[in-house]
Structure 1
Amino acid sequence: MKKKNQSLKQVIYLVVVSGLGILMIYPLLWMVMSSFKESNTIFTTAGQLIPSKFIFDNYVNGWKGFAKVGFDTFFKNSLFISVTATVGTVLSSSLVAYGFARGRFWGRKALLVAMLLSMMLPAQVLMIPQYLWYQKLGWVGTYYPLIAPYFFAIQGFFVYLMMNFIEGIPNELYEAARIDGCSFYGIYARIILPLITPALITGGIFSFIWRWDDFLSALLYVNDSSKYPVSLALKLFSDPGSSSDYGAMFAMATLSILPIMLIFIFLQKYLVEGISTSGLKG
């Protein structure tokens, strides 16, 4: 009876989890399947998941882009913004995290509390002051607001993630490096960075995904359509004043999630390792 009850519980658990999984992934499947339908039939056959006839014109039309700007240009723009901002985030956050974890200086606790409080501050609160600041710097209309701030560890989440990871490194390694004559920054470059690789990769994955999906920042600061990232270029397919090419929009949206899926597939083990070990103490 006990084995039967356990088996029944497992079956119920699998059914519930599978149902929730299908419910969560259904909108994504609907988008992918809709990219193979004719644009004028997408919403009239919304209840039909599998297209009666698969067409690939949406991908061809969507890839052509707008105003002689191909959609490959938008992908290049997104890739440039995401990669550059991610490199800045990883390097600056790891350095600041190392200072918090191993440095001892006046005001350390106050700065640490301020960093933690910044994680609780809604981004909308900073939107207007940041825009005015960037406008005075002459950065509006460029990529600088989308890239430059991330070289100064403005996201406390990554600092906190890497700081916990660094604090989990045994002090004996740190002390041994100091005895061998390694400087404070030498220890960071030669000891800390190689040991926190999982945290660096985890932070890089999150940063890349957030920058790739960032729509609001691009909407605020980029006003040249040839400089649009993918997240902003997708809205060009929708024109409430005339007609909207939803088929092409869904096709390009499907392509836009491929980089994120590939990163998750190939770097999943580092993501799990970085999250599961960041809170452990050595």
Structure 2
Amino acid sequence: MILAGRRFIYHAFVIAFGLVMIYPILWTLASSFKPESEIFAHSGSLIPSSLEWKNYVNGWAGFGGTTFGTFFSNSLIITVVVLLGTIVSSSVVAYGFARLRFWLRSFLFACLMITLMLPSQVTMIPQYILFHDLGWVNTFLPLTIPHFIGGSPFFIFLLVQFFRGIPRELDEAAVIDGCNSYSIFYRVVLPLTKPALVTVAIFSFMWTWDDFLGPLIYLNNPKLYTVSLGLRMFSDPSSLSHWGYMFAMSVLSLLPQFIVFLFFQKNIVEGIATTGLKG
């Protein structure tokens, strides 16, 4: 009886906590179907008095001839390019730190770890000046090209820990078979790093898709806007805000992340759980 009571309390607490966590998403979904006047008038209710499908239709129509499909396409292009650049550059740099011996390796890795503690605001202005001088402002280049150069410190650290868990005997066996460092990386180490690479890809996808500050700084043309900037255009404190349209497009903008998480959540857990384990 005591054990059953503890299980009941535990499950009741977990369910209650889960409902609290998921309530904002449910409220957003419900508000996307509510009439404009009802969204904040009955803010606690999750059941709309009538289904306003026009919130989705008018929200997708966008602004000034630029539909929300354009914003989705721009976000998808940027996200895919950033994802590829992050995987390639971060895995190469991580392999060098984890498996190669070179001068100042420990010092450079320490510098890499220090950059994790630097606020992004520290480098924001120098980066903008650099990209402005290069003529990259109002293009996708400053949002994508840097990810092909040097990789991301967080992902490099994650991959370094994973690479160190792969037995070095595999490298030695590959050397005997005539492989050099590049062949060992592509043919031996990289195929064994699939869980970590999937984890990097998923986090890179989610963080890039959600990014608001980067596009806000570098993009000025509405036809280049991403989903995050498109959602902001529905809110205008100086005049009228279309909250129904905003919530409708917010729901659609969440779908890619939900799909990615549902299909790859096993890989996320596996990649994080095995990172840093020694073989």
User: 1:166-197 CA deviation, whole Å, 9 max, x = no partner?
Assistant: 11111111110011110101111111111101
- Output the CA distance in 1 between the equivalents of 2:151 and 2:122: 15
Cα distance, 1:154 vs structure 2: 4.0
- Output the CA distance in 2 between the equivalents of 1:249 and 1:281: 48
Q: Which residue of 1 aligns with 2:110?
A: 113
Q: Which residue of 2 aligns with 1:215?
A: 212
User: 1:77-127 CA deviation, whole Å, 9 max, x = no partner?
Assistant: 000000100100011000000000001000100111011111111112221
- Output the CA distance in 2 between the equivalents of 1:50 and 1:126: 46
In 1, are the aligned partners of 2:93 and 2:151 still within 8 Å (CA)?
no
Normalising by structure 1, we get a TM-score of 0.97
Confirm whether residue 246 of structure 1 aligns to residue 243 of structure 2.
Answer: yes
- Output the CA distance in 2 between the equivalents of 1:171 and 1:8: 51
Confirm whether residue 80 of structure 1 aligns to residue 80 of structure 2.
Answer: no
Q: Which residue of 2 aligns with 1:58?
A: 55
What are the ranges of 5 or more consecutive residues in structure 1 without an aligned counterpart? none
- Output the CA distance in 2 between the equivalents of 1:91 and 1:46: 46
Confirm whether residue 134 of structure 1 aligns to residue 131 of structure 2.
Answer: yes
- Output the CA distance in 2 between the equivalents of 1:53 and 1:142: 42
Task: Give the partner amino acid of 1:135.
Answer: H
In 2, are the aligned partners of 1:153 and 1:159 still within 8 Å (CA)?
no
Cα distance, 1:5 vs structure 2: 2.1
Aligned residues: 279
Task: Give the partner amino acid of 1:48.
Answer: S
Task: Give the partner amino acid of 1:70.
Answer: T
Task: Give the partner amino acid of 2:254.
Answer: I
In 2, are the aligned partners of 1:35 and 1:250 still within 8 Å (CA)?
yes
In 1, are the aligned partners of 2:85 and 2:151 still within 8 Å (CA)?
no
Task: Give the partner amino acid of 1:191.
Answer: V
Confirm whether residue 232 of structure 1 aligns to residue 219 of structure 2.
Answer: no
Task: Give the partner amino acid of 1:124.
Answer: Q
Q: Which residue of 1 aligns with 2:254?
A: 257
- Output the CA distance in 2 between the equivalents of 1:261 and 1:253: 12
In 2, are the aligned partners of 1:97 and 1:159 still within 8 Å (CA)?
yes
Task: Give the partner amino acid of 1:258.
Answer: L
Give 3-state SS (helix, strand or coil) of 2:10's partner: helix
- Output the CA distance in 2 between the equivalents of 1:55 and 1:233: 21
- Output the CA distance in 1 between the equivalents of 2:7 and 2:141: 52
User: 1:217-270 CA deviation, whole Å, 9 max, x = no partner?
Assistant: 000000000100001110111111211111011000000000000001111111
In 2, are the aligned partners of 1:118 and 1:156 still within 8 Å (CA)?
yes
Identity of aligned residues (%): 52
